[in-house]
Amino acid sequence: MTKAVYPGSFDPVTNGHLDIATRAAALFDEVVVGVYDTPAKSLLFTTKERVGLFARAASALENVKVVAYTGLTVDFARHTGAKVIVRGLRSATDFEREFEMNMMNKTMAPGVEQVFLVSDLAYQFLSASLLKEVMALGGTVDHLVPEHVAEALRRKFRR
C-alpha cells in the first residue's frame, strides 16, 4: 500500500489544490493532506479552519484525510508512514522553489520520494494569496473555490 502526503498552507483550499488532491487520490492508496500549523507567513484562516475547509472539500474522496502538522514535512511524511510527498506545480517559479526544497528534503529523507503533479490549465494562475487579494479589493472568486470556501471568505471579508 502506497501512502502519500500532500502538504501546504491551504489558506484557504482552492479548486487548484482540490484538483491535485483528487488526482493524487487516484494514484495512491491513501492521501493525507497536511495543513502546516505554523507557516512563516501571515494567514487569513486558523489552522482548525483550514483543516475543516479542506476536509469538507475532500469529503467525497474516500482515501483522503486532512490533518494539521508542524515541523519538517519530511518528518510529517515519516510519522504518517508515507513514502511519497505530492506537490502541485504551476509555473517555472513554482519549479525553482520546489526544486530546491526537493533537494533539501532528499538530503534529510532519502527514502521519501517527491512527486510533482502539473496544475491543470484551468488552475495555472490560481493561488490562495491572489484569491485573498481579489476578495480584499471587492472582487468575487466564487468560481475558483468550493461553495463553502466562498462563504467562509465572504464571512472573513464581511461581505
Q: How far is the CB of 134 from ligand ADP (least distance, A)?
A: 14
Smallest gap from residue 68 Cβ to ligand ADP (A): 13
Asked if the bond preceding 12 is cis, omega within 30° of 0, the reply is: yes
Cell numbers 487548484 label which residue?
16
Q: Are 50 and 36 in contact (CB under 8 A)?
A: no
Which of residues 1 and 119 has its CB atom nearest to ligand ADP in the complex? 119
**Interface with ligand ADP (CB under 6 A):** 8-10, 14, 16-17, 20, 39, 87-88, 90, 94, 119, 123, 126-128
Nearest-approach distance from CB 49 to ligand ADP, in angstroms: 14
Answer whether 58's CB lies under 8 Å from 31's CB.
no
Measured between alpha carbons, how far is 53 from 98 in angstroms, rounded to an integer? Answer: 25
Instruction: Report in angstroms how near the CB of residue 42 gets to ligand ADP at its nearest.
Output: 12
Indicate the residue among 1 and 93 with the shorter CB distance to ligand ADP: 93
Write down how long the chain is.
Answer: 159
Contact at 8 Å (CB) between 9 and 128?
yes
Give the nearest distance from C-beta 116 to ligand ADP in angstroms: 8
Cβ proximity to ligand ADP, 53 vs 87, nearer residue = 87
CB nearer to ligand ADP: pick between 1 and 26: 26
- Nearest CB to ligand ADP, comparing residues 96 and 151: 96
Give kind and range of the element (H or E) at residue 146: none
Distance CA 10, CA 53 (A): 9
